[in-house]
Structure 1
Amino acid sequence: MVIRFLLMLLIFAALNVYIGWHGSFLLSFFEVPVPAAMYWIVFWIVSLSYVFGRFKIVPGVLGRAFQWVGSYYFALLEFALILLPVADLIAWGLHSAGVPTTTYVPVLGTFVILVLALLLGIGSWNAWNPIIRTYELHIDKPGGDFKELRVAMASDLHLGNIVENRHLGRLVKAMNAMKPDLILLPGDVIDDVIEPFIRKEMAQVMKGLQSRYGIYAVLGNHEYYGGHIPEYIRQMNSIGIRVLQDETVLVADSFYVAGRKDKTAESMDKAGRLPVADLLADLDKSKPVLLMDHQPYHFDKAAAAGADVLMCGHTHRGQFAPNHLITKRLFELDWGYMLKEKMHVVVSSGFGTWGPPVRIASRSEIIQLMIRFA
């Protein structure tokens, strides 16, 4: 683990040197009067600012500001590592062809800077302006008192120092406008530590969520990473949101809501988590079963266990391109809808963001499920 960590640290440092050199080169080329030592000090502070803020190396308000700056730098880092090699290759070709540097350096430099700014701008807009996606599902079972069930669902809120009450208020307003029968939150409601959730009284904003038959959530990997699960559950219980940990609930004697512990419990919870077959074993399968499991794995097992609808999150659909190409290969379904045997699967790209509040080829979304019964 130590060798792996040192190797990752070395790679991270090398990538930042590569990016930092380009910035230094442009400043010198345009004769901007910034001392080299000052430039590199500021550059390394910015590149490491997320670490300074997230791990409270710099505490308080300044540390939270560092976390904001560092989160955006993560996106800038990835975009720059895509654009700069292309710009370098073009520059090498032009230089080999005898084109003066005074001709192509200003054009390439300006182009890269403008594209980076455009990507960050569009990505921020996509992150802070959620859309509502509606899926119409049919379950070939009677729904008891229901012919139709309207479910509002949002995964991966990641409430913390980056995603705050303003964005959470958008969720409350949009969900309440749906007038849902049920609200489901399939994991990663908080972003690791619970301190900002408490300090900013986010529970009081979430308390505004309204549904006829309750609000249920499950744990995601970030609740486990933060290590404050008992306090998180207490906060949620205080506002009427039940966090299901390998539990099932019969709602209105008509359908079941089941919630699994996150897959992270297999390594971070002494009790582990139940196999999905055991979780659903004693349910009356003539009634519809709505299952939440944060990470979208083993659809076949959930279908075989008798789930009618499986709701997941976790992937963020890569959050920003080209990461979505990776998540598409990692998961059977990394975003959207599929029918697995007779089970409906919905994987959300999430409402909040981890790290940079930037989304490219992905949107902040709220899911509306219109479920019709036989």
Structure 2
Amino acid sequence: MLAFIFAPFYILVNLYLVRWVLRWTGACHKVFGSKTFRVIFISIYVFASLTPLTSFVIHSPAWLHRLLEQISNYWFGWLAYLILAVLLTEAVLFAVRRLRGKDFAEMQRVRQVQGGIALALLCVVSFYGMAHAERLYITDYTVEIDKPGEDMTVALLADLHLGYSTDPDYIEEVAQAVNEMRPDLVVLAGDIFDNEYEAVPEPEAVKALLKNMHSTYGTYACWGNHDLKEPILAGFTWSTKDENKNDPRMERFLTEAGITLLADQTETLPNGVQLAGRKDPARAKKVGEARRTPEELLGTLDQSAPIFVIDHQPKELAELAAAGADLDLSGHTHDGQVFPGNLIIKLMWRNACGYLNVNGMHSVVTSGVGVWGPAMRVGTKSEVARIHVRFTG
């Protein structure tokens, strides 16, 4: 329903952007003011701007559906930066008018320069963001826990978002990076899927790659808010109340990939570490499941032994600390993924990304392996977090 509410606004914004680009290009050269150029540009623009809708309604053939989904994901990133570029240019032009009182001819020259810079930045930033999203980084953290135990290394992954923006070769790179760490424990902190199991590229191959991640104690995961079956239209969920959003293929995928799912469950590792995996609050609500509180989940554990928690959203940090957690492993935020989201996200979360000590509990939030929505990263990075845990008790 929200998609339809925002549809008129989306149409008006795109009409303004088309008019703005054509006015700028027409001011640069007469060729760009020709009817032929305008028809070609408008046709391409309309096709791209409609892909959020066409990818939603066209499901056959499969290759066309996938292509439309991929274009739609890139489109949202380009659209966001086109809007920013136009707003910046218009702000500068407004300031020139107010301060200098330029006449029309001079304003046309200013518009040519400003518009050229704006569109050049749009292309540079967007292409950079597309390429940068596929570059994998390793981020190191060291935490000290005042409890007895053997030092260990934890590989933290989150937000794979296996779907239309996923390349199996990239997943292979992720698996290789994890294996090079020689971790004792591998953790997947939710959003393994991207709302649609059918979107997973070459699921058997991806499954085998994830199964090939080696560690001393195995791979454990919790669900995220996107780990369910739920149609998405232009970024908005689209479903009916009586629809079953649980997709058994997702859990079966994890099992066959050698990944142990902890859904409000705990398990004690051979080294004595007690590992708890939480249900995601958004997912639990949509599938009609109850969710245990931190006290209910951790209250029966041995508080003198180390307690690690996998929780997709870093929402209840203080509550987990009070319940006895020593290390909380999360994702979800993507660190904002694209500028200026990386600045805004810090206003929304106590620990938006990175490390934070919360009342003695270590909180590590990773920016994630994959992307959601715009298949870009600007101002953030795709990463696997390597956490060196030192026990000092």
Instruction: Give the paired residue count.
Output: 369
Conserved 8 A contact 1:50-1:68: no
- Cα distance in 1 for partners of 2:42, 2:60 equals 19
**Do the aligned partners of 1:54 and 1:64 also contact (CA within 8 Å) in 2?**
no
Distance 1:307 1:54, change over 3 A: farther
Q: How big is the shift at 1:280?
A: 0.9
User: Aligned match of 2:256 in 227, 238, 242?
Assistant: 238
1:311 paired with 2:329, answer yes
Report the Cα distance in structure 1 between the residues aligned to 2:130 and 2:45, rounded to whole angstroms: 22
Question: For the residues of structure 2 that align with 1:14 and 1:272, how far apart are their CA atoms?
Answer: 42
Preserved CA contact (<8 Å) 2:353 2:367: yes
1:354, distance to aligned residue in structure 2 (A):
0.6
Say which SS state the counterpart of residue 227 (structure 2) adopts. helix
C-alpha contact 2:313 2:331 (8 A) present in aligned 1? yes
Give the match for residue 315 of structure 2. 297
Stretch of structure 1 that moved more, 264-273 or 53-62? 53-62
Following the alignment from structure 2 to structure 1, what is the Cα–Cα distance between the partners of residues 210 and 284? Answer: 29
Judge conservation of contact 2:196–2:228 (CA < 8 Å) in 1: no
User: How many angstroms does 1:51 deviate by?
Assistant: 3.4
Mapped to 2, the partners of 1:55 and 1:256 lie a distance apart of 46
- Match 2:223 to one of 219, 222, 227: 219
Match of 2:12 among 14, 17, 24: 14
Is the aligned partner of 1:165 residue 2:183?
no
For the residues of structure 2 that align with 1:198 and 1:125, how far apart are their CA atoms? Answer: 19
Structure 2 equivalent of residue 370 of structure 1:
388
Asked if residue 197 in structure 1 is aligned to residue 200 in structure 2, the reply is yes
Residues 74 and 11 (structure 1), Cα distance of their counterparts in 2 relative to 1, 3 Å cut: same
Deviates more, 1:258-267 or 1:289-298: 258-267
Query: Does structure 2 retain, via aligned residues, the 8 Å contact 1:292–1:310?
Result: yes
Residue 111 of structure 1 and its aligned partner are, at CA, apart by 0.7
Q: Does 1:135 align with 2:138?
A: no
CA shift digits 1:276-297 (9 cap, x unpaired):
2101111111110110110110
Spell out the pairing of 1:1-374 with structure 2 (5 A cutoff). Answer: 2=1, 4-29=2-27, 30=29, 31-32=31-32, 33=34, 34=36, 36-54=38-56, 56=58, 59-94=61-96, 96-98=101-103, 99-143=105-149, 146=150, 148-197=151-200, 199-201=202-204, 202-226=206-230, 227-252=245-270, 254-373=272-391, 374=393
CA distance in structure 2 between the partners assigned to 1:241 and 1:165 by the alignment: 18
Residue 54 to residue 313, structure 1, CA distance change in 2 (3 Å): farther
Amino acid at match of 2:312: H
For residue 369 of structure 1, what is the amino acid of its counterpart?
Answer: I
1:89 Cα deviation from its structure 2 partner: 3.0
Percent of pairs identical after alignment? Answer: 29
Note the alpha carbon deviations across 1:28-75, whole angstroms, 9 max, x for none: 333334264554343122012133225545642122222222211111
CA contact (8 A) 2:162 2:201 kept: no
Q: What's the Cα RMSD here?
A: 1.9
> Structure 1, unaligned stretches of length 5 or more?
none
What's the secondary structure of 2:377's corresponding residue?
A: coil
CA-CA distance at 1:228 after TM superposition: 4.6
- Structure 2 unpaired stretches of 5+: 231-244
Per-residue CA deviations over 1:105-138 (Å, capped at 9, x if unaligned) read 3322221121011111322232111111111011
Contact 1:152 1:184 in 2 (8 A): yes
| Counterpart AA for 1:370 | H
The alpha carbon displacement at 1:198 in A equals 6.4
In 2, the alpha carbon distance for the partners of 1:270 and 1:110 equals 52
Q: What letter is aligned with 2:11?
A: A
Counterpart of 2:102 in structure 1: which amino acid?
A: A
Q: Which letter maps to 2:189?
A: P
Amino acid at match of 1:209: M
Amino acid aligned to 1:15: V
Name the SS of the counterpart of 2:228 in structure 1.
helix
1:63-105, Cα deviation, whole Å (9 max, x unpaired): 2222222211111111122121221233345564125355223
| Equivalence for 2:234 | none
Q: Deviations over 1:127-151 (max 9, x none)?
A: 11111111101111112xx2x0110
- Measure how far apart 1:233 and its partner are: 0.9
Does the CA-based 8 Å contact 1:53-1:59 persist in structure 2? no
- Paired residue type of 2:147: K
Q: What do residues 317-368 of structure 1 show as CA deviations (whole Å, max 9, x unaligned)? A: 1101111222111111111100001100001111100122211111001100
The range that moved more, 188-197 or 121-130, is 121-130
Change (3 A) 1:355 1:58: farther
In structure 1, the partner of 2:241 is: none
Once residues 19 and 59 of structure 1 are traced to their aligned partners in structure 2, the CA distance between those partners, rounded to angstroms, is: 32
Deviations 1:249-307 (Å, cap 9, x if unpaired)? 10005111110011113421322211121011111111101101101102111011111
Q: Distance in 2 between matches of 1:156 and 1:55?
A: 26
Q: Which amino acid aligns with 2:169?
A: R
Aligned mates of 2:305, 2:64 — CA distance in 1: 53
